[in-house]
Chain A
Amino acid sequence: MFKFNCLSSKFTLNKILKSVVVSSIIISPVLYLACGSSGSGSGGPSPSGNLDQNQMLKELSENVIIPSYADFKEATGELQTSLVAFCESPDLDKLGQAQAEWKTTQEKLSRTESFGFGPYHDQNFDNEIHFWPTEPDFIESAISNNEEFSPEVLAGLAGGVSTRGVPAIEYLLFDGAGDSQKILDFFTQNENAARRCNFLVAIGSELQKQSTALHDAWSAEGENYAKQFYSAGQSGSSFATLHDAINLMVNEWAFSVDYIRDLKLAQPIGLKSGSDVPLPETVESPYARYSKESIVVELKGMQSLYRGDYGVHQGLGIQDLVKEKNVNASEVLDQLIVDAIEGMEAVPGSLHDALTENPASIENAYEKIKTLRDYLYGPLASLLGVTTKFSDNDGD
């Protein structure tokens, strides 16, 4: 009979097994003291690990995310009021008021972009609210071909979501060159002036409905997605683990930065299309010339999520999670976000104009945002163990 002689009972394997297990338990704290505490100097990891991550998600939901959506909802309400007032008796003052409200709405929307997970994406609010670039031909065709614009008519328009939302309203209220009289003429002199106003009010109303539904989807008074989110890993939550929720949030957060870099900057610079001249018409808000401001606010929204503060609200944020793992990393990341914001703010005038007049300032901003993107997708992803995978893996 074949025997495994090399492992005969003389070796007293039970003793060996027990001794290796015990010795590994003993040696580990020693190694921790010897190596773990010296890994990163003064900015080393906190050994305490006391952050209540569910509480962090709760405070982020209640202090940053829901208030941001509430502000967006309020802004769309103010915008709709101004649109109705403008269409009742169009003049330059009311147009100016509507344009100002549009900018506020765009800012409040941009503020929410870095946490566009959950209902915003799952319930298609992203397309309904912020599909860009808009399609002027479809909008003009819709105005020419329809008298009334009920929700059913809007839903059936050729061009779909590209004919509504914040970008479509921008197209109707701004002309790109700042010529408000020209816009006013469209609403007063043009043969489709009345229809144009009807359409504007109709998509304004639709936007208000969408922003209200989005806020309700998160708030406790509505579908209360926030509770699903912050009670991740607990019974009743759709998130099986706490990490699933953090993974989703950080992924979206990082993605929003890459989106700015790739589509909101690289594209108009001409990097994506092999163009040797900039392409200003491809900026996010070409008619209102409000792209730079939108990016700055979007980055500040990202900063809010990181620091856990928004307006009068203050609480735990992603920074606290990063700090718990590595104090130095939390400071580096905070500075990279500040650098990115300052880089964008340093672009003179509008992004549209700076593309041709001051491209160096945009390239500088691009590099800072790229550096931030690289940090998020590299060290931060490793530090937090976030992944974009959706299938099981064995980790290598």
Chain B
Amino acid sequence: MLSPRKRDAFLKMFVKKLYQPIHASSLAIFRIFFGLMMAFSMLRFMLKGWVYDLYVKPKFFFTFYGFDWVKPWPEWGIYAHFIVLFLLALFISLGFYYRLSMFLFFLGFTYVELIDKSNYLNHYYFISLISGLMILMPLHHKWSVDAWRKPHLYSTKVPVWPLYVLRLQMGLVYFFAGVAKLNSDWLFHAQPLRTWLSMNVDFPILGPWFNQAWVAYAMSWMGAIFDLTIPFFLLGRRTRAFAYLAVIIFHLVTWRLFRIGMFPWIMMVSTTVFFSTHWPEIFYQRLRRFLPFFGISKVSSKVKSSSSFITQTVTEKKSETGLVQANTHNGHFSKIFVNRKQKILIGFFGIYFFIQFFLPIRHIFYPGDVMWGEEGLRFSWRVMLMEKNGSIDFRVVDPETGRRWLVNANQYLQPYQFKQMSTQPDMILQMAHHIEQDFSSKGLKHIEVYADTNVSLNGRMNQRLIDPKVDLAKESRGFHHKKWITPFINSAVP
């Protein structure tokens, strides 16, 4: 245990580190691009008809446990919701009522994602997290309407902690995505990548190679190594440029191969937080060399003197929002004042990152293979790891009369919902409960609901996912282990 004095010194040192002033440019650019990407995403969602397909057309929604109270708006409301999200994203980009816009965007976006589990994607979760974190971050002090409207807000410096937070969050995404790839299917059978690559034999130039098994193995291993190491290489001053090039190549290839929507672009933009904090100025400076007519005001001599994006700088004192207000170069922290707001912020991020470290590994507390039972699978960055398909029939039995029904759940669901439900135990349970309620509303009380499932994981032969003898109507939802999930038999992968 640290003595109170040492603890106090440690806290002050920590605060000093977190509140070092840095250039506001890279974070301002991050805000601008994040807003633009979100605006584009919302527009794309509406123009592709997904608002109707995902939130109007379905008659039933798979809510998240504990969030059953989240219901979709009526049709006009959900369209209005997306229009508002689009506008909020533009406001974020412009830095217009930034904090309020960010807060409302976070709420609105997360609400949409909570409506239906069928639409869960890791990058939507990532956006919710980032937008939630951004509420707390002073990213509107530069290149924003807010700073233009309120000159006292304008600042070329911001504390460094938002950068650390974003980098850590990004790093966790990559790192745990890499850890998740350390399984036998991925490493020793190159599955499911082998299947997916073979679907892309018409890919320009490389396509004919995609049917070659060794290519799938090479890409599987390189993918795992990329995810596990890229945050560290991005942090390293000397490796950053090469690492970012790898980020771009990796995400462009996956974007072209797998049609994963906005995810690659979001990651390519988000990883700019690993750059030097004044990279936009350096970038502009370089651009001017090639485009002399691009005349804007002079860039500071300090920036001019920098020759790359990798400089991590600024030690000057600055009396701006939340920045350290004492000379700390002598190694003494007695003059640093750690205020209540800072303590709360540190406490918040401590808890936040504890959860972020815990969630991806929580599956170890459940028996069985996480890809099979999917207990602890969501919110853990297990991206592009499995090709899971199956069929399901529900059997309803009235124990009083002995009457039996074979229920095809597609009468309640859209095809994409059915596909998701057919291989995910918690969604199967929700479907069983919905069937029970439907029968109950027709006057058939106390029925039993059984699921007849056949599921194939990464090309294996079918196995039963759910114990067909368990009455799911009597089973409860929750975070406890579901004993009715049939144990996975690790049979041969083709």
Which residues of A come within 8 Å of B, CB atoms?
A: 1-4, 7, 9, 11, 13-14, 17, 20-21, 24-25, 27-29, 31-32, 35-37, 39-40, 44-45, 47-50, 53-54, 232-234, 241-243, 246, 258, 262, 266, 271-276, 324-326, 328-329, 373-375, 377-379, 381-385, 387-396
Q: Do B462 and A391 touch across chains, with their CB atoms under 8 A apart?
A: no
* Cα–Cα distance between A176 and B395 once the two chains are bound (Å): 32
Interface centre among A266, A373, A391, A396 (most CB of B within 10 A): A396
The A-contacting residues of B in range 444-494, CB under 8 angstroms, are 454-462, 492-494
Q: Do B419 and A387 touch across chains, with their CB atoms under 8 A apart?
A: yes
Interface centre among A243, A375, A385 (most CB of B within 10 A): A385
Number of A-B contacts (CB under 8 A): 226
Minimum C-beta distance from A180 to chain B (A): 36
Known: A29-B214, A29-B217. 15 other contacts (CB 8 A): A3-B312, A17-B239, A32-B214, A32-B217, A39-B494, A49-B201, A243-B200, A378-B390, A389-B416, A389-B419, A391-B50, A394-B261, A394-B383, A395-B192, A395-B383
* Cα–Cα distance between A266 and B243 once the two chains are bound (Å): 57
Q: Do B17 and A2 touch across chains, with their CB atoms under 8 A apart?
A: yes
Q: What's the tally of chain B residues with a CB closer than 8 Å to chain A?
A: 92
The verdict on A45 contacting B404 (CB below 8 Å), with A17-B239, A24-B221, A242-B201 known, is no
* Cα–Cα distance between A394 and B384 once the two chains are bound (Å): 6
B396 interfacial contact with A, CB 8 Å? yes
* Cα–Cα distance between A326 and B189 once the two chains are bound (Å): 14
Chain B, residue nearest A324 (CB): B211
CB-CB contacts of B199-219 with A at 8 A, as 1s and 0s? 111100000101111100110
Q: Which residues of the partner chain B approach A325 to less than 8 Å between Cβ atoms? A: 195, 198, 494
Minimum C-beta distance from A3 to chain B (A): 7
B273 interfacial contact with A, CB 8 Å? no
* Cα–Cα distance between A329 and B50 once the two chains are bound (Å): 36
Chain A, residue nearest B209 (CB): A49
Q: Which residues of the partner chain B approach A44 to less than 8 Å between Cβ atoms? A: 494
B75 interfacial contact with A, CB 8 Å? no
Which of B188, B402, B454, B494 is close to A326, meaning CB atoms less than 8 Å apart? B494
Q: Do B494 and A329 touch across chains, with their CB atoms under 8 A apart?
A: yes
Q: Do B233 and A13 touch across chains, with their CB atoms under 8 A apart?
A: yes
Q: Which residues of the partner chain B approach A36 to less than 8 Å between Cβ atoms? A: 189-190, 213-214, 217
Minimum C-beta distance from B78 to chain A (A): 16
* Cα–Cα distance between A272 and B395 once the two chains are bound (Å): 9
Chain B, residue nearest A234 (CB): B202
Q: Do A274 and B396 touch across chains, with their CB atoms under 8 A apart?
A: yes
Q: Do B416 and A390 touch across chains, with their CB atoms under 8 A apart?
A: yes
* Cα–Cα distance between A37 and B189 once the two chains are bound (Å): 10
Which residues of B come within 8 Å of A, CB atoms?
A: 17, 20, 48, 50, 53-54, 119, 121-123, 160, 187-190, 192, 195-196, 198-202, 208, 210-214, 217-218, 220-222, 225, 229, 232-233, 235-239, 242-243, 258-263, 312-315, 377, 382-391, 396, 398, 402-408, 415-416, 418-419, 422, 454-462, 492-494
Minimum C-beta distance from B377 to chain A (A): 8
The verdict on A266 contacting B406 (CB below 8 Å), with A326-B494, A395-B260 known, is yes
Q: Which residues of the partner chain A approach B314 to less than 8 Å between Cβ atoms? A: 1
Q: Do A49 and B214 touch across chains, with their CB atoms under 8 A apart?
A: no
* Cα–Cα distance between A48 and B209 once the two chains are bound (Å): 10
Minimum C-beta distance from B234 to chain A (A): 10
Q: Do A262 and B408 touch across chains, with their CB atoms under 8 A apart?
A: yes
Q: Do B384 and A383 touch across chains, with their CB atoms under 8 A apart?
A: no
Q: Do B419 and A391 touch across chains, with their CB atoms under 8 A apart?
A: no
Q: Do A385 and B236 touch across chains, with their CB atoms under 8 A apart?
A: no
Q: Which residues of the partner chain A approach B187 to less than 8 Å between Cβ atoms? A: 31
* Cα–Cα distance between A195 and B348 once the two chains are bound (Å): 81
Q: Do A17 and B233 touch across chains, with their CB atoms under 8 A apart?
A: yes
Q: Which residues of the partner chain A approach B494 to less than 8 Å between Cβ atoms? A: 39-40, 44-45, 325-326, 328-329, 379, 383
Which of A39, A276, A375, A382 is close to B388, meaning CB atoms less than 8 Å apart? A382
Q: Do A391 and B54 touch across chains, with their CB atoms under 8 A apart?
A: yes
Q: Do B199 and A24 touch across chains, with their CB atoms under 8 A apart?
A: no
Minimum C-beta distance from B228 to chain A (A): 9
* Cα–Cα distance between A37 and B494 once the two chains are bound (Å): 10
Q: Which residues of the partner chain B approach A381 to less than 8 Å between Cβ atoms? A: 389, 456
Q: Do B202 and A241 touch across chains, with their CB atoms under 8 A apart?
A: yes
Q: Which residues of the partner chain A approach B422 to less than 8 Å between Cβ atoms? A: 377
Q: Which residues of the partner chain B approach A384 to less than 8 Å between Cβ atoms? A: 195, 199
Q: Which residues of the partner chain B approach A13 to less than 8 Å between Cβ atoms? A: 232-233, 236, 238-239
Q: Which residues of the partner chain B approach A47 to less than 8 Å between Cβ atoms? A: 212-213
Q: Which residues of the partner chain A approach B315 to less than 8 Å between Cβ atoms? A: 1
Chain A, residue nearest B454 (CB): A374
Minimum C-beta distance from B221 to chain A (A): 4
The verdict on A4 contacting B398 (CB below 8 Å), with A29-B214, A49-B201 known, is no
Q: Do B121 and A378 touch across chains, with their CB atoms under 8 A apart?
A: no
Q: Do B462 and A375 touch across chains, with their CB atoms under 8 A apart?
A: yes
Interface centre among B54, B405, B494 (most CB of A within 10 A): B494
Q: Do B242 and A17 touch across chains, with their CB atoms under 8 A apart?
A: yes
Which of B202, B221, B387 is close to A242, meaning CB atoms less than 8 Å apart? B202
* Cα–Cα distance between A272 and B409 once the two chains are bound (Å): 11
